[in-house]
Amino acid sequence: MRERRGSGRKRLLSDERGVSVTVGYVLTLAIGAVLLSGVVIGVGGVVDSQTDRAVRGDLSVLGQTTAANVESADRLARAAEADRSNAAGATNASVSVAVDLPTRVAGIPYRITVDNDAVTLRTNHPEATLEIPHAARLNVTPASVRGGPIRIEYDHGAGGTGNLTVVER
């Protein structure tokens, strides 16, 4: 053990501790490390669970927003097709709805998939998938786009009706 400065009989006699300074220091560090680990693990778990909840909540909100806009575009497209002129040179029925969505949810990128029945949003870490059914009557071209600002488009000129398409902006 290293000699302490100023040590001597008087100091030794007045020292009432039962362990050496080194042991005491190591114990202090160990206890501190255990406490710190506990805090990190505990708080980290809370953060992870809250992140998961936030991701699912945000995906739900964004899914509902996307589905509502798909249905709006569907209403507008059907209105554009109603009594549309079939004369030669007539303009196509054309509808475009821009939707501002965030590029990340709780700091995590995500993807949006649409088809005839539903809007599906998905993240990889944490792995979360949320499917929101929509009630669009026109066909929706199946597509998968990165989460972020999107545009729902309809452009049709021939007889019958066309398809709604979701693209990135």
Partner 1 sequence: MADVSIGPPDGDRLFGGEDTSNADRAQLLLVAGLVMAVSLVTLVVLLNATIYSENVATRGIESADGEALEVRATAVDGTGELLDATNRAGPTDHADAAETVRNGVKDLDREASRSYAERGGVARIELLEIRNGSRITTDMAAVDPNASTLAADVDRTRGFVLDVDPGSLVETNASGAVDNAFHVELNDSTGGTHQVYVYNGTDGNVTVAVGDNSGEPTVWCETPPDGRDRVAVDLTGERLGGRSCPGIWPTALVAPDDAYDITLMSANAAAGEAAATVRAVSGDTVTTNLTGGRQPAVYEATIGLRYRTAELRFETDVRVVPGEPNA
Question: Is residue 103 at the binding interface for partner 1, with CB under 8 A as the rule?
Answer: no
Q: Is the dihedral of CA 138, 142, 143, 147 positive or negative?
A: positive
Question: Residue from 12, 16, 70, 79 that binds partner 1 (CB under 8 A)?
Answer: 79
Backbone angles phi, psi at 83, to 5 degrees: 55, 30
Between CA 134 and CA 132 the distance in angstroms is 6
Query: Using the rule CB under 8 A, is 114 a contact of partner 1?
Result: no
Closest CA to 93 of 162, 142, 41, 40: 162
Q: Which is nearer to partner 1, 29 or 167 (CB)?
A: 29
Q: Output the smallest distance, CB 82 to partner 1, in A.
A: 8
Residues of this chain, 3-62, that bind partner 1 according to CB under 8 A: 4-6, 21-22, 24-25, 28-29, 32-33, 35-36, 39-40, 43-44, 46-47, 50-51, 53-54, 57-58, 61-62
**19: CB partners within 8 A, 6+ apart:** 27
Residue 121, number of CB atoms within 10 A of its CB: 26
Q: 3-class DSSP state for residue 113?
A: strand
Number of residues that bind partner 1 (CB under 8 A): 58
For residue 95, state whether it binds partner 1 (rule: CB under 8 A): yes
Is residue 66 within 8 Å of residue 150, measured between CB atoms?
yes
Answer yes or no whether residue 109 interacts with partner 1 by CB under 8 A.
no
Tell the smallest beta-carbon distance from residue 143 to partner 1 (Å).
Answer: 19
Site membership for partner 1, residue 92 (CB under 8 A)? yes
The interface region with partner 1, picked from 87-95, 109-117, 125-133, 138-146 by CB under 8 A, is 87-95
